[in-house]
């Protein structure tokens, strides 16, 4: 292969060379690897995979240079679009009489997601990226600008703590838009970048809020108490609110990072009124106190609208109420950010997500993040050439361009009824919220047999358990082996709080429960949080996924056809298919100081002793 001169490298790589972030030898090594690949991969992406250069190096280099870097070339080099995508977008730009900007064409024709594109623009142009909402908009300044002007030109003023006048633009390079903003706000504005749809939504919410009173959050009325509870849960990033009548009091707990924490106690006398208020909000029967009920609440607050799923459960002390806070935001986690190790992510994308057909199962208990992972897969598959249709109970994430159906048994809109019609909608990808019975399992398998890709979730302990449960639903072994392409088991474990983390060593009891020795954990750096105000003295802040990926290769398919036990299939998968168990993936993350050994023992099943840490890191590609 003919070696390239430095002039033939991309602008970004030349910049990295100039500031000594890369050497010529490293680039030549990456180029040799690029030449051996069967599918195209940008040279910069290969350099990052080899850890010769980091995202931060690229970011610093782009912001330090005075020479402009073309957005199309930047996106190709970073691996977000292919050279063919760029050529197609330039061709569309040339054919459009209006001469649209290349960035708008890339987003409009779904070559790249708007969120990703805005973040890259933020890197290239040095403008901060912001997500506008009613909490950070400068309402006084926004009141001086007509709503139609902000909507037409897509900008909105943002609060600032340092006295600067910040304005969020969908396109800060549009001189006409910037001129309009300066006409109303003055010339000393500091541009920041935001998504156009976020700006539009915030402007409309701002207009709706004009003339309305503030949300009541006092503790003297039941309405105020309920509002305060929901707002408190939002502030503390809770996923569930538990309202529990006890013999002498009403107890309220929040589930934060997967763990229930005490929030507040109220007098026992408030129970009937508070229960009635929540029933009214979700349109349940306030006169019925002897039977279980459920409902849904759409709660309006400053940030927009929150979707809550309510369950009323009759107990001896009254009705226990659980409110599940559903994430209805437009942004969905990218598969690269949910916690999959590099090698597991590459294999999941290649052997499961981007397969033309087959069933992809995501398994785990309630609250393990299965829905987020499935929607991350949808996000990766979404394009103008692909028809995606879903059946969910309920719809938790709203994604533009995806046909989503929310199951409602109260009006006979059941899974059975929906699945019967879903295959008649000419879909490429079918998403079944959960395989819960033989009928839904049969539909998933039959759809995969006819060339569809099917994504669904399952409640099982691990990846092997997902296969065994399908077999126990009377799905023939040859159908399971021929239609299921992969099973991804997962759990969510709490992250160590970065503000109070200290080094820690596993205790002998922990090592005994993990079924390993200190020699097996050589090179590990375990950490734990001491507890601080940032993490409310828990030592944890946020969560990360722990995964087990089973790809059905020939050895696993043969084991299924031979009706092997789950123990035998697991042994074959570990020995021949490169399976890393949930415990082993968690151990790699704990050894990197991301989570703690206590979290592994609390959340993860232990079927067999883990392999040595050095081997696990090699298998994970860490």
DSSP string for 373-442: HHHHHHHHH--TT--EEEEESS--S--TT-EEEE-BGGGTB-HHHHHHHHGGG--SEEEES---SHHHHH
Token pair 């059941």 in the structure block, residue = 414
Residue 134 covered by a domain: no
Report CA-CA distances (Å) from 523 to 20, 590, 596.
Answer: 30, 12, 15
Render pLDDT for 167-203 as a digit per residue (tens, 0 to 9): 998 878 777 888 888 888 888 888 888 888 888 888 8
How many residues appear in the chain?
622
Kindly state the average pLDDT of the residues 530-547.
89
Q: Which tops the pLDDT comparison, 115 or 274? A: 274
Render pLDDT for 115-161 as a digit per residue (tens, 0 to 9): 777 777 776 666 788 878 777 888 888 888 888 888 888 899 998 87
pLDDT of residue 590: 95
Which residues, in sequence order, are bridge partners of residue 223? none
Closest-CA residue to 528 (of 520, 538, 519, 518):
538
Verify that 300 and 158 share a domain, yes or no.
no
Question: pLDDT-derived band of residue 314, with 50, 70 and 90 as boundaries?
Answer: very high
Closest-CA residue to 340 (of 47, 133, 622):
622
Residue 55 covered by a domain: yes
Q: Please answer whether residues 167 and 190 qualify as being in contact, where contact means their C-beta atoms are separated by less than 8 angstroms.
A: yes
Collapsing DSSP states into helix, strand and coil, what is residue 157?
strand
Looking at residue 240, the DSSP 8-state letter turns out to be E
Instruction: Give the containing element (helix H, strand E) for 168.
Output: strand 165-169
Q: Please answer whether residues 279 and 292 qualify as being in contact, where contact means their C-beta atoms are separated by less than 8 angstroms.
A: no
Q: Is the pLDDT of residue 163 over 80?
A: no
Sheet strands (E) in 50-188: 155-158, 165-169
Verify that 384 and 533 share a domain, yes or no.
yes
Tokens representing 517?
Answer: 């020795």
Write the CATH number for 600. 3.40.50.300
Cis status of the peptide bond prior to 394, with omega within 30 of 0: yes
Render pLDDT for 579-614 as a digit per residue (tens, 0 to 9): 999 999 999 999 999 999 999 999 999 888 999 999
Q: Please answer whether residues 83 and 47 qualify as being in contact, where contact means their C-beta atoms are separated by less than 8 angstroms.
A: no
Residue 594 covered by a domain: yes
Verify that 235 and 147 share a domain, yes or no.
no
Q: Minimum mean pLDDT among 205-214, 300-309, 361-370, 372-381: which range?
A: 205-214
Domain's final residue, options 69, 100, 115: 115
Q: Is the pLDDT of residue 13 over 80?
A: yes
pLDDT of residue 330: 47
Verify that 372 and 506 share a domain, yes or no.
yes
pLDDT of residue 485: 94
Verify that 235 and 344 share a domain, yes or no.
no
Q: Please answer whether residues 253 and 244 qualify as being in contact, where contact means their C-beta atoms are separated by less than 8 angstroms.
A: yes
Verify that 382 and 319 share a domain, yes or no.
no
Closest-CA residue to 297 (of 414, 370, 394, 409):
394
Verify that 523 and 565 share a domain, yes or no.
yes
Token pair 């750096």 in the structure block, residue = 525
Q: Minimum mean pLDDT among 13-17, 99-103, 196-200, 504-508: which range?
A: 99-103
Q: For residue 194, what are the domain limits?
A: 139-209
Q: Is the pLDDT of residue 1 over 50?
A: no
Verify that 322 and 340 share a domain, yes or no.
no
Residue 292 covered by a domain: yes
Verify that 461 and 517 share a domain, yes or no.
yes
Question: pLDDT-derived band of residue 2, with 50, 70 and 90 as boundaries?
Answer: very low
Render pLDDT for 279-299 as a digit per residue (tens, 0 to 9): 999 989 998 888 999 888 888
Residue 133 covered by a domain: no
Token pair 């890369």 in the structure block, residue = 22
Using CA atoms in the order 594, 368, 328, 359, what is the torsion angle rounded to 10 degrees?
120
pLDDT of residue 423: 83
Q: How far apart are CA 571 and CA 369, in angstroms?
A: 26
Report CA-CA distances (Å) from 184 to 152, 155, 497.
Answer: 14, 12, 44
Q: For strand 527-529 and strand 501-503, is the pairing parallel, antiparallel, or unpaired?
A: antiparallel
pLDDT of residue 99: 66
pLDDT of residue 548: 95
- Per the structure, the count of domains in the chain is 4
Verify that 316 and 374 share a domain, yes or no.
no
Q: Is 38 exposed, middle or buried (0-12, 13-18, 19+ CB in 10 A)?
A: exposed
Residue 127 covered by a domain: no
Question: pLDDT-derived band of residue 112, with 50, 70 and 90 as boundaries?
Answer: confident
Write the CATH number for 231. 3.30.450.90
Verify that 521 and 551 share a domain, yes or no.
yes
Domain's final residue, options 209, 242, 265: 209
Verify that 541 and 448 share a domain, yes or no.
yes
Q: For strand 501-503 and strand 388-392, is the pairing parallel, antiparallel, or unpaired?
A: unpaired
Q: How far apart are CA 458 and CA 486, in angstroms?
A: 13
Report CA-CA distances (Å) from 497 to 507, 529, 534.
Answer: 20, 6, 8
Question: pLDDT-derived band of residue 216, with 50, 70 and 90 as boundaries?
Answer: low
Residue 283 covered by a domain: yes
Closest-CA residue to 510 (of 528, 529, 489):
528
Q: Minimum mean pLDDT among 123-132, 240-249, 319-328, 386-395: which range?
A: 123-132
Closest-CA residue to 237 (of 253, 216, 220, 254):
254
Q: What percent of the chain has pLDDT over 90?
A: 33
Residue 217 covered by a domain: no
Report CA-CA distances (Å) from 370 to 308, 367, 401, 418, 588.
Answer: 18, 8, 21, 21, 21
Domain's final residue, options 187, 209, 231: 209
Q: Please answer whether residues 581 and 610 qualify as being in contact, where contact means their C-beta atoms are separated by less than 8 angstroms.
A: yes
Tokens representing 403?
Answer: 């046909």
The model carries a pTM of: 0.72
Write the CATH number for 159. 3.30.300.160
Tokens representing 306?
Answer: 């929150």
pLDDT of residue 502: 93
């Amino acid at each position: 292969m003919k070696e390239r001169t430095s002039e033939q490298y991309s602008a970004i790589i030349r910049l990295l060379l100039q500031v000594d972030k890369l050497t010529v030898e490293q680039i030549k090594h990456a180029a040799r690897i690029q030449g051996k690949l069967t599918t195209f991969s940008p040279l910069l992406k290969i350099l990052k995979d080899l850890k010769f250069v980091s995202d931060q190096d690229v970011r610093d280099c782009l912001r330090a240079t005075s020479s402009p870097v073309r957005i199309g070339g930047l996106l190709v080099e970073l691996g977000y679009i292919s050279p063919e995508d760029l050529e197609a977008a330039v061709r569309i730009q040339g054919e459009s009489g209006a001469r649209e900007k290349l960035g708008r064409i890339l987003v409009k024709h779904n070559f790249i997601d708007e969120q990703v594109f805005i973040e890259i623009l933020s890197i290239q142009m040095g403008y901060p990226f912001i997500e506008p909402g009613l909490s950070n908009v400068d309402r006084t300044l926004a009141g001086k600008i007509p709503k139609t002007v902000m909507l037409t030109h897509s900008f909105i003023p943002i609060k600032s703590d340092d006295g600067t006048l910040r304005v969020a633009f969908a396109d800060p390079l549009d001189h006409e838009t910037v001129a309009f903003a300066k006409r109303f706000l003055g010339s000393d504005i500091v541009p920041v970048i935001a998504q156009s749809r976020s700006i539009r939504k915030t402007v409309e919410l701002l207009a709706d809020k004009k003339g309305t009173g503030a949300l009541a959050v006092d503790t003297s009325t039941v309405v105020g108490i309920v509002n305060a509870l929901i707002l408190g849960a939002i502030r503390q990033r809770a996923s569930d609110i538990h309202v529990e009548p006890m013999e002498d009091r009403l107890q309220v707990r929040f589930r934060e990072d997967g763990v229930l924490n005490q929030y507040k106690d109220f007098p026992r006398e408030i129970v009937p009124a508070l229960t009635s208020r929540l029933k009214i909000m979700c349109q349940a029967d306030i006169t019925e106190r002897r039977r279980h009920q459920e409902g849904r609440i759409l709660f309006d607050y400053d940030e927009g609208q929150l979707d809550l799923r309510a369950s009323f459960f009759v107990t001896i002390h009254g009705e226990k109420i659980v409110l599940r806070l559903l994430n209805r935001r437009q942004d969905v986690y990218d598969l690269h950010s949910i916690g999959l190790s590099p090698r597991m992510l590459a294999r999941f994308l290649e052997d499961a997500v981007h397969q033309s057909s087959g069933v992809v199962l995501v398994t785990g208990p309630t609250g393990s993040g299965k829905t987020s992972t499935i929607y991350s897969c949808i996000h990766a598959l979404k394009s103008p050439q692909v028809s995606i249709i879903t059946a969910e109970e309920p719809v938790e994430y709203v994604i533009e361009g995806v046909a989503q159906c929310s199951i409602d048994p109260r009006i006979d809109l059941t899974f059975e009824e929906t699945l019967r019609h879903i295959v008649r909608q000419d879909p490429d990808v079918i998403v079944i919220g959960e395989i819960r019975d033989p009928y839904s399992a049969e539909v998933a398998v039959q759809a995969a047999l006819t060339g569809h890709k099917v994504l669904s979730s399952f409640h099982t302990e691990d990846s092997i358990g997902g296969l065994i449960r399908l077999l126990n639903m009377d799905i023939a072994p040859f159908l399971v082996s021929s239609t299921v392409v992969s099973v991804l088991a997962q759990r969510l474990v709490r992250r160590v709080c970065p503000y109070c983390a200290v080094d820690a060593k596993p205790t002998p009891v922990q090592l005994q429960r993990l079924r390993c020795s200190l020699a097996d954990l050589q090179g590990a750096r375990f950490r734990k949080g001491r507890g601080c105000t940032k993490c409310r003295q828990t030592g944890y802040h946020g969560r990360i996924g722990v995964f087990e990926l089973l790809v059905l290769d020939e050895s696993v398919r043969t084991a299924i056809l031979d009706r092997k036990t789950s123990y035998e299939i697991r042994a074959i998968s570990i020995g021949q298919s490169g399976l890393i168990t949930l415990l082993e993936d968690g151990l790699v993350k704990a050894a990197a100081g991301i989570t703690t050994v206590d979290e592994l023992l609390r959340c993860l099943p232990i079927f067999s002793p883990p392999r040595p840490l050095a081997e696990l890191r090699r298998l994970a590609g860490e």
